[in-house]
A and B are shown apart, each in its own frame.
Chain A
Amino acid sequence: MNLVKWARLKSPWLLHFNTGACNACDIEVLAALTPRYDLERFGALLKASPRHADVLVVTGPVTRQVKDRLLRVYNQMPDPKFVVAVGTCCISGGVFNGCYNVYPGLDSIIPVDAYIFGCPPKPEAIINGVVALLKKLEAS
């Protein structure tokens, strides 16, 4: 494994974006960074700017108003970039499927690399998902 790939795998920098969620998934993502579950031991840091991040962590059903901003943030991230969809709202619209302002899932807007189930997923499930993504990258 070359040096660049090793560096990418050992410190994935996350950018968290909420596309109209109910906040339950967001507080579980934040709880995954607190001392009890500690996502930071995998080298993951929560960053502020899209230009610094490798992984986009998205929660929430995508609403009409936020779609353009989501595309803009996604385009601002440098390649190679990965997208993780957290929660059932991201995967299929969740309990809001059928509402007039909600798209049917995140993969109808941008390509997704990992899906994490749950409403909301427990912090252990989020860690499981991020580790699975890293393993998939290592294998590829």
Chain B
Amino acid sequence: MQEEELQKMEKKSAYELFFDIPVGPQHPALKEPAFFKFRVEGERVVGVDVDVSYNHRGIERALEDRNYIQNIYLIERICGICNVAHTLCYAQAVEQLHGKEIPPRANYIRLMIEELARIHSHTLWLGVAAHEIGFDTLFMYVWRDREVVMDLIEMLTGNRVTTAINTIGGVRRDVSDEAKDKVNKGMNILEERLKYYRKVALNDPTVNARCSGVGILKPRDAIKLCAVGPTLRASGVKNDVRRDDPYTLHDEVPFNVITFDTMDVFARVLVRIDETLESVNMIRYCLDHMPNGDVRIKLPLSPPVGEAVSRVEAPRGELIHYARSNGTKNPERYKVRTPTFGNIPSVSEMLTSKSDYEVNIADIPIVLASIDPCFSCTARMEFRDVSKGKTWIWSLKELKAHCKK
């Protein structure tokens, strides 16, 4: 009897090959809850459905109940890793509503902290991506060097992660000359280590094998699906908010927009490492050319009636805030669109096998990590988990339990 049943099952599975694998909120790969449902055919992934509702905290509604100064702290905690970009975008939007310019020294300090945060975010990503492909040594090395940046950020702003240095009208603290010397020394150490990691990424055979030819996103699809950030630049499209729509001082400080044209995960690794080296140069420029003066102007609590759109190049891509004010102390509407939200359609595209390009289950973790997902940004509402693909989570019993949920 059992033989017959087994044979029936095999016949059935020959025609109905699709199997949905849920990867639920608790998984060891990404540190955020997100839920992915992969449709697989053997080892090939043919479709993915993303649920980003676990991280929904109702922030946009809460922003309307608090005044503009209290909102700085709420905006900062949309995402701990990109918190500098969020506060910078917020401060710029409110300053546009007021119609005022901030003093030049504040702009230099803002740029320096923004680029330090970019270095911190990219090295964090490099460590996590190395962990995803199993290269734990690189993870430990990179995070040890990341501590150099964390110490500099702590010295300049008072906290390692959520800095709150940007405020409406400028920055909160000034930078002393001893601080500038320390930053210079830190940059020298970092540049040497980053060049070493670039060499490792280019020459190591494991990295090459796991990352080349995986997670391909063609330029035409990237533009159609509105991809942003390093995901877009690794497909050869030369778009960067710092070049197209310059804010703070990006029209004065010289830098290059990094693109690669191999369209795969390897290209994204190289784009991020090179961007970090560009950031080191930009910080050095800031330190050499910083003018003297005030760092903050006083602005009233209620801006005039109007609306403003503010865009910033966060480490993960283009971040846009929209503000509408009705003349009172609380904003009428504040909308935040984070870069990961813009990259989700692209990731669904990358994980779908097509006639000339196959995606295997083993590639899922690194492809997902290659867009540098920050689901807490995405799910100011909710977010879903992506899982790492460890076999324990795919045991049939647990899968069934998941499916019954």
CB-contact partner of B31 in A26, A49, A96, A102, under 8 A: A26
**Which of the four size classes fits the interface of chain B?**
35 or more
Check: B147 CB closer than 8 A to any chain A CB: yes
Measured CB to CB, the closest approach of chain B to A77, in angstroms, equals 11
Q: Does A83 contact B (CB under 8 A)?
A: no
Q: Mark B69-87, 1 if CB is under 8 A from A, else 0.
A: 0000110011111010000
Of residues 33 through 49 on chain B, the ones whose CB sits less than 8 Å from some CB of chain A are 33
* Segment 134-164 of B: residues with Cβ below 8 Å from A: 140, 143-144, 147, 150, 160-162
When distances are taken between beta carbons in the complex, the residues of chain B under 8 Å from A80 are none
User: A28-B161, A95-B74, A122-B160 given as contacts; is B57 within 8 A of A20 (CB)?
Assistant: yes
* Alpha-carbon separation in the docked complex, A16 to B32 (Å): 10
Distance between Cα atoms of A89 and B168 in the complex (Å): 25
Q: How far is the CB of A70 from chain B (nearest CB, A)?
A: 8
User: Given A19-B33, A22-B80, A48-B392, A65 and B162 touching (CB < 8 A)?
Assistant: no
Residues of B contacting A95 in the complex (Cβ-Cβ under 8 angstroms): 73-74, 77
Indicate whether A108 reaches chain B with its CB closer than 8 angstroms.
no
Find B382's partner among A26, A63, A122 (CB 8 Å cutoff). A63
Complex: A28 Cα to B232 Cα, angstroms: 29
A132 beta carbon closer than 8 Å to chain B? no
- Assuming A23-B376, A24-B161, is B57 touching A61 (CB within 8 A)? yes
- 1/0 contact trace for A112-140 toward B, CB 8 Å? 00000001101000000000000000000
Name the residue on A nearest B77 (C-beta).
Answer: A22
Taking CB as reference atom, which chain A residue is nearest B55? A20
How far apart are the CA atoms of A48 and B78 in the complex, in Å? 26
Given contacts A34-B140, A120-B161, contact A20 B78 (CB under 8 A): no
Give B120-142 as 1s and 0s: 1 = Cβ < 8 Å from A's Cβ atoms: 00001000000000000000100
Contacts of A12-59 to chain B: CB distance below 8 A: 16-28, 30-31, 34-36, 46-50
Q: How far is the CA of A76 from the CA of B390 in the complex (A)?
A: 18
Q: A16-B31, A63-B55 are in contact. Are A22 and B379 (CB under 8 A)?
A: no
Nearest to A61 among chain B residues (CB) is B57
Closest beta carbon of chain B to A109's beta carbon, Å? 14
Establish whether residues B83 and A20, one from each chain, have CB atoms under 8 Å apart when the complex forms.
no
Q: How far is the CB of A87 from chain B (nearest CB, A)?
A: 10
Q: Which chain A residues border B59 with CB–CB below 8 Å?
A: 96, 99
B28: nearest chain-A partner, CB-CB: A48
Q: A47 to nearest B CB, angstroms?
A: 8
Tell which of A18, A36, A61 touches B33, judged by Cβ atoms closer than 8 Å: A18
Whether a CB of chain A sits under 8 angstroms from the CB of B266 is no
CB of B325, distance to nearest CB on chain A (Å): 22
> With A18-B31, A21-B376, A24-B81 in contact, do A63 and B161 touch (Cβ < 8 Å)?
no
Q: Is the CB of A99 within 8 A of B79?
A: no
Q: Which residue of A lies closest to B144 (CB)?
A: A35
Contact partners of A122 in chain B: CB under 8 A: 160
Does A34 contact B144, Cβ atoms closer than 8 Å?
A: yes
**Is the pair B374, A23 in contact by a Cβ cutoff of 8 Å?**
yes
Indicate whether A24 sits within 8 Å of B54 (C-beta atoms), given known contacts A18-B32, A34-B140: no
In the assembly, what is the distance between CA of A24 and CA of B56, in Å? 16
User: A20-B54, A22-B79, A120-B161 are known contacts. Are A65 and B382 too (CB-CB below 8 A)?
Assistant: yes
Of residues B54, B79, B162, B374, which shows the largest number of chain A Cβ atoms within 10 Å of its Cβ?
B54
Say if the beta carbon of B342 comes within 8 Å of chain A: no
Q: In the complex, what residue of chain B is closest to A51 when comparing beta carbons?
A: B392
- A81 at the A/B interface (Cβ < 8 Å)? no
Given that A61-B57, A100-B58 are contacting pairs, would A24 and B83 also be in contact in the complex, using a CB cutoff of 8 Å? yes
Q: Give the CA-CA distance A65 to B140 in the complex, in Å.
A: 33
* Chain B residues in 8 Å Cβ range of A28: 160-161
A20 touches B62 (CB 8 A): no
Bound state CA distance, A122 and B73, in angstroms?
Answer: 18
B162 / chain A contacts, CB cutoff of 8 Å: 24, 119-120
Known contacts A63-B382, A98-B62, then 6 further A-B pairs from the complex at CB < 8 Å, ordered by chain A residue: A21-B376, A23-B81, A24-B162, A35-B143, A73-B26, A95-B77
List A residues at the B interface (Cβ < 8 Å).
16-28, 30-31, 34-36, 46-50, 61, 63, 65-66, 68-69, 73, 94-96, 98-102, 119-120, 122
Sample of 26 A–B contacts (CB below 8 Å): A19-B54, A20-B379, A22-B80, A22-B376, A23-B79, A26-B32, A27-B124, A28-B161, A34-B140, A34-B144, A48-B393, A49-B392, A50-B26, A63-B57, A65-B54, A65-B382, A69-B25, A95-B74, A96-B74, A98-B65, A99-B57, A99-B61, A100-B58, A101-B58, A101-B382, A119-B162
User: Interface of B with A (CB < 8 Å)?
Assistant: 24-28, 31-33, 53-59, 61-62, 65, 73-74, 77-81, 83, 124, 140, 143-144, 147, 150, 160-162, 374, 376, 379, 381-383, 388, 390, 392-393, 405
